[in-house]
Amino acid sequence: MDELNRVSVEKFNELGKLPVICVLDNVRSQHNIGSVFRTSDAFRIEELYLCGITATPPNREINKSALGATESVKWQYFADTSLAVHQLKELGYKVIAIEQAADSINLEDYSPVASEKIALIFGNEVTGISDPVMEIVDACIEIPQFGTKHSFNVSVTAAIVLYHCYTRFKKCLE
């Protein structure tokens, strides 16, 4: 572990975080939830909001893919995603849906402002982000795709978008 420069959970808690909160809107797969925890740990985001039917730790299936990230990544549960979004807005976050939708911004064209705190919403594996939530977001980002499926797994989507944000915000981690 020393060779990999891994930090302890205690040290992780002291380190700077990306000014990003991920919101999981009714994500049903516990393996996807665990994978988002692990990716959130890797990019040191501020927090994860687990909403609706999204399972919460402690959970054996989440832990299989989280590999301990449920201990390092701060998280909260909200029964209603819309309430979580309203709270984020009150806290000064720009709330961005990651969804294929009219008027979405191509991820390649999105650059967060350095002083801006953002919340990224990732939706259900089948139905995406719920309509009531889509009505109250500040913006929508879409990942360009060129195959026949036109969709990524939610955990892959989170990894792509968080890496993109990391490349723009990485000075926060230094």
What dihedral do alpha carbons 126, 38, 67, 154 form, nearest 10°? 10
Name the band, by pLDDT with cuts 50, 70 and 90, for residue 164.
very high
Mention every residue, 6+ apart, whose C-beta is less than 8 A from residue 25.
Answer: 51, 52, 54, 81, 121, 122, 123, 124, 129, 130, 133
Is pLDDT at 172 greater than 70 in this prediction? no
pTM for this prediction: 0.93
Residue type, position 169, single letter: F
Predicted local distance difference test score (pLDDT) of residue 171? 62
| Strand partners for 52 | none
Name the band, by pLDDT with cuts 50, 70 and 90, for residue 158.
very high
Least confident of 32-41, 59-68, 86-95, 109-118: 109-118
- The residue-averaged pLDDT of 63-67 equals 95
Tell me, rounded to whole angstroms, the distance of Cα 110 from its chain centroid: 16
In CATH, 9-173 is 2.140.10.10: no
Could you state, in order of their start, the residue ranges of all structural domains in the chain? Answer: 9-173
Tell me, rounded to whole angstroms, the distance of Cα 33 from its chain centroid: 10
How far, CA to CA in Å, does 64 sit from each of 24, 34, 40, 152, 164? 18, 7, 15, 21, 26
- Contact by Cβ (8 Å): 154, 32: yes
pLDDT in tens, 125-154: 999 999 999 999 999 999 999 998 888 999
Predicted local distance difference test score (pLDDT) of residue 1? 53
How far, CA to CA in Å, does 67 sit from each of 33, 41, 55, 61, 86? 12, 10, 16, 10, 31
Residue type, position 15, single letter: L
Is pLDDT at 85 greater than 80 in this prediction? yes
CA neighbor of 29 nearest in space, from 60, 52, 61, 57: 61
- The pLDDT mean for the chain works out to 93
Least confident of 98-102, 109-113, 114-118, 170-174: 170-174
